[in-house]
Amino acid sequence: MARIVQKYGGTSVGDVERIKKVAERIKAIRAEGNELVVVVSARAGVTNELIARAKAVCDLPSDRELDQLLAIGEQETIALTAMALHGIGVPAISYTGAQAGITTDTVHTKAKIKDIDASALEKDLSAGNVIIVAGFQGVNDEGQTTTLGRGGSDLTAIALAAAIKADKCEIYTDVDGVYTADPRVVKTARKIEEISYDEMLELASSGSKVMQSRSVEFAAKYNVVFEVRSSFNHNPGTIVKAEVASMEKVLVRGVAVDKDQAKVVVSNITDKPGSAARVFRALADAYVNVDMIVQNIGRAGVANLTFTVPQTETQKAVRALEPIVKDLGGTVSIYEQVAKLAVVGVGMRTHSGVAATLFQTLADAGINIQLISTSEIKIAVVIALDKADEAARLAHKAFGLDA
């Protein structure tokens, strides 16, 4: 007998037919003698719809009321999943986040989990029930409903798995697992069998998002091993776990492309101590997320600063920089026809030449590199948007990832 936490995402519980399929899957796993705690998301699209309705009645909905509203998406699916199980003779009971003992801090719409008191859940579990928990929500010390940030059902599942010391944690989604590249772009992409937390986080921040990043960070912190797999078939998925020595044998685990980035160039700004600090302070104060940064060598008392921001934040960035360029001189230009390509792998730590191989591959195809950034396990470049797919295919091949 094993204790298993499963999480089903929005498409897996997207309508009543899908919910019945999930119930059948749960029934079969329980019949093998396992204990099951199941976390569900809202039906796909429901959270977005609720947010749209909130904005339709008020320009700036309060975060507290948003949480009251958003929490209902998951409350629909927990009750329906429990009923679907009853319908096929499986004892089940649904829990809201509060009922599951998930307490959070007071930051509405992006609350952090503080503690989980699983005593009620444990009691119902030993009575033979399947427990269905609403993902993405909790309760703060004042009894207010909170939510855990978009995609937060992943976090609910990982945190519950840690709290009840589950033997297994399975994240069910609509893809078979984590791939070496986006299979829609790179036809030769393969499913990755095992990936480290760090690689998974770097791939996610580089544009191939399968799970909420905070949930992966949480899993790394509490060493929760989990599997990402599909609820639409029975194929094995991808195991995400702490790094082991054998993982270093692979130079590059995966290639990611992010097409939602824009390049910002602040040119001819006065070259003196504090200029860069002012630029990035203004951006930080406006909550603009800056990624890659390059400053060229100043000439004739002026310098250029180039960096990337999410495309959705370019206008915010321009507005934040207006007073600064007025003061320090210079001009701000935005380039949206760019993409970020990243290769990620823990093997880079112990092998040299990964950067050279990537740059040569791009050079041979006549693809110009506009910006470069690296971490211990990642090399990322900004290139022209219309070259992104080709570059991904070439890098995938160059690092031996083709099937």
Listed in sequence order, the residues at least 6 apart from 370 whose beta carbon sits closer than 8 Å to its beta carbon are 263, 306, 338, 381, 382, 383, 384
Q: What is the DSSP track for 46-111?
A: HHHHHHHHHHHH-SS--HHHHHHHHHHHHHHHHHHHHHHHHHTT--EEEE-TTTTTEEE-S-TTSP
Q: Is 96 in the site for ligand ASP (CB under 6 A)?
A: no
Give the other-Cβ count within 10 Å of 113's Cβ: 23
Widest distance between CA atoms in the chain: 79
Contacting range for ligand ASP; rule: CB under 6 A; set: 145-153, 172-180, 333-341, 378-386:
145-153
Judged by CB under 6 A, the residue of 3, 27, 112, 150 near ligand ASP is: 150
Q: Which is nearer to Mg ion, 151 or 345 (CB)?
A: 151
Contacting range for ligand ASP; rule: CB under 6 A; set: 57-65, 144-152, 262-270, 374-382:
144-152
Judged by CB under 6 A, the residue of 151, 330, 345, 347 near ligand ASP is: 151
Helix-helix angle 63-87:16-31, to 10 degrees: 60
Of 356, 74, 103, 388, nearest in space to 258 by CA: 388
7 vs 18: CA distance, rounded Å: 14
Q: Is 14 in the site for ligand ASP (CB under 6 A)?
A: no
Q: Is 73 in the site for Mg ion (CB under 5 A)?
A: no
Q: Which is nearer to ligand ASP, 10 or 345 (CB)?
A: 10
Pattern 99-138, ligand ASP, x by CB under 6 A: ------------------------------------xx--
Partner that binds at residue 306, options ligand ASP, Mg ion, none, CB closer than 5 to 8 Å by kind: none
Q: Is 347 in the site for Mg ion (CB under 5 A)?
A: no
Contacting range for Mg ion; rule: CB under 5 A; set: 4-12, 202-210, 239-247, 299-307:
4-12
Minimum distance between the CB of residue 244 and ligand ASP, rounded to whole angstroms?
29
330 vs 301: CA distance, rounded Å: 12
Minimum distance between the CB of residue 396 and Mg ion, rounded to whole angstroms?
25
Helix-helix angle 275-285:314-328, to 10 degrees: 150
Footprint (CB under 6 A) of ligand ASP, residues 49-88: 73
* DSSP count for the chain of H helices, then E strands: 11, 20
On whether the CB atoms of residues 171 and 38 are closer than 8 A, the answer is: no
359 vs 395: CA distance, rounded Å: 9
77 vs 84: CA distance, rounded Å: 10
Q: What are phi and psi of 129, to 5 degrees?
A: -85, 150
Judged by CB under 6 A, the residue of 97, 138, 152, 207 near ligand ASP is: 152
Partner that binds at residue 26, options ligand ASP, Mg ion, none, CB closer than 5 to 8 Å by kind: none
Footprint (CB under 5 A) of Mg ion, residues 135-174: 151
Q: Which is nearer to ligand ASP, 154 or 389 (CB)?
A: 154
Q: Which is nearer to Mg ion, 9 or 207 (CB)?
A: 9
List of residues contacting Mg ion (CB under 5 A): 9, 151
